[in-house]
Amino acid sequence: MVIQRNKDSEPAARADALAAAEQALRDSETRLRLAMHATGLGLWDYRPGQERVGSNEEFAVLLGYEPDSFEETRAAFVERLHPDDRAAVRARFRDYLDGQCADYAVEFRMRTRSGEYRWFRSVGQIVDRDPAGKPTRVVGTYLDITAQVNAMRRLSELSARLLQVQEAERSKVARELHDEIGQQLTAIRLNLHAIAREGGLSARVEDCLSIVDDTLGRVRAQVLDLRPPMLDDMGLGAALDWYCRRQEERAGVSILIEGVEGLARYGEEVEITVFRLVQEAVNNALRHGRADEIRVTLHDVDGLRVVVEDNGVGFDPDDQVQRAHHEGYGLSAMRERVALAGGRFDLSSAPGAGTRITVFLPRQAGRRS
């Protein structure tokens, strides 16, 4: 078979294909521009060593500039960064280019045209390298996250306030129980004793006395659970030692506590945070772990390091289904308290391997910025 070639149609077909490719490119650029606009993403395109940085319209708009007259440079970006964030952002970018860290994703404040600082999240990726492997082009995006940052801040202020109110309320209820109910019960008890002395010990009076004694015991236990007075009077070490002895007696398990003797005094927030944390961790170990040995260790290493370990059944902390259904208030309250005090929280556990909670708190509580 002979194929008849039409010599004139070849350049025409090539021109058509070129036009179609150009159209496809234009369509794809439009789609990208629309997507960046719709998601509010500013784009940056940086070639190491060059001063000019490529950017899209959205980027100018995010910073309050007219897109037509806006040109981004490396120096302008550095100068626009909040002085408190500058060193960290530059170090992270350098580390990413040097291959010291796997990704570049940072959150920082940038000054906008009006002089106001807003929060941004920037994510970037190396897209080109020279033959020696040195990055020659990095492309990334900016997203304005000021609203989220403010919402998170309000939420954490609210949690801090909630925890303060809860502690204050506990102290108040403990005081009232002790001063009002406790005193009244003591008075009834004295009267019953007097009645018993005057009229002989009738079975009914004897019964009343034993009910009152029992109720007094319960009230005292409630007062201690709500807010152990030794936490305020004698400090964290004494309060934890007392608490562990008491739980050991109640549950009939062994609770070892190390590092409480001569423990320094910390700020009120640190002491309450640690006391509540140990209380919850020991309770969890007894209730869920069914542990028969629990170890609490405190260590002052330029801050306070606390470890609570148990030899119980353990659980899988990464099990999302279990977390969604079973994470009660206890573990999230621990995390929250530690974050509010500016500390670090770590939980490790596995089925059959017990549970360990490690916490580090700075001497003076306070969230790091």
Ligand X SMILES: Nc1ncnc2c1ncn2[C@@H]1O[C@H](COP(=O)(O)OP(=O)(O)OP(=O)(O)O)[C@@H](O)[C@H]1O
Chain contacts with Mg ion (rule: CB under 5 A) = 284, 330
249 binds, among ligand X, Mg ion, none (CB under 5 to 8 A by kind): none
Minimum CB distance to ligand X smaller for 217 or for 351: 351
Q: Which residues pair with 347 in a beta bridge?
A: 357
Closer to Mg ion by CB, 183 or 322: give it. Answer: 322
Q: Which is nearer to ligand X, 197 or 325 (CB)?
A: 325
Amino acid in position 203:
A
Strand partners, 207: none
Give the pairing type, strands 293-300 and 254-258. parallel
Packing angle, helices 203-226 and 183-199, rounded to 10: 160
Residue 182 near which of ligand X, Mg ion, none (CB within 5-8 Å, type-dependent): none
Query: Which partner, ligand X, Mg ion, none, binds residue 44 by CB below 5 to 8 Å per kind?
Result: none
- Give how far Cα 315 sits from Cα of 77, 125, 331, Å: 47, 37, 13
- As given in the structure block, the two tokens for residue 49 are 């060593």
Helix axes 268-287, 236-251, angle to 10 degrees: 10
* Residue 355 binding target from Mg ion, ligand X, none, CB below 5 to 8 Å by type: ligand X
197 binds, among ligand X, Mg ion, none (CB under 5 to 8 A by kind): none
Q: Which does 274 bind (CB under 5 to 8 A by kind): ligand X, Mg ion, none?
A: none
Whose structure tokens read 């059959």? Answer: 352
Closest approach of ligand X to the CB of residue 250, in Å: 17
- Say if strands 42-46 and 52-55 run parallel, antiparallel, or are unpaired: antiparallel
Nearer to ligand X, 233 or 329 (CB): 329
Please, what is the minimum distance in Å from the beta carbon of residue 333 to Mg ion? 9
- CB nearer ligand X, residue 135 or residue 314: 314
**How far is residue 193's CA from residue 200's CA, in Å, rounded to a whole number?**
10
The item of ligand X, Mg ion, none sharing an interface with residue 366, based on CB under 5 to 8 Å by kind, is: none
Two structure tokens written together for 265: 């005094």
- Residue 101 sits at φ, ψ, to 5 deg, of -135, 155
219 vs 286, beta carbon nearer Mg ion:
286
274, two tokens: 């640690």
In the bound complex, what is the minimum distance in angstroms from residue 24's beta carbon to Mg ion?
Answer: 58
DSSP state of 264: P
Nearer to ligand X, 274 or 285 (CB): 285
Q: Which of Mg ion, ligand X, none sits in contact with 124, Cβ below 5 to 8 A by type?
A: none
Least distance (Å) between residue 331 CB and ligand X: 3
Comparing CB distances to ligand X, the nearer of 122 and 284 is 284
Least CB distance to Mg ion at residue 278 (A): 12
Report strand pairing: 52-55 vs 254-258: unpaired
45 or 293: CB nearest ligand X: 293
Binding site for ligand X (CB under 6 A): 284-285, 288-289, 310, 312-315, 326-331, 355
Q: Could you tell me the smallest distance in angstroms from the CB atom of residue 325 to ligand X?
A: 9
114's tokens? 């009006």
Shortest Å, Cβ 311 to ligand X = 10
Cα distance between the two ends of the chain? 80
Angle of CA points 341, 270, 109, to nearest 5°: 15
- Please give, one letter per residue, the 3-state secondary structure of 214-280: HHHHHHHHHHHHHCCHHHHHCCHHHHHHHHHHHHHHHHCCEEEEECCCCCCCCCHHHHHHHHHHHHH
Torsion of CA 10, 15, 19, 24, to 10 degrees: 40
CB 330 → Mg ion: shortest distance, Å?
3
Q: Find the shortest distance in angstroms from Cβ 137 to ligand X.
A: 47
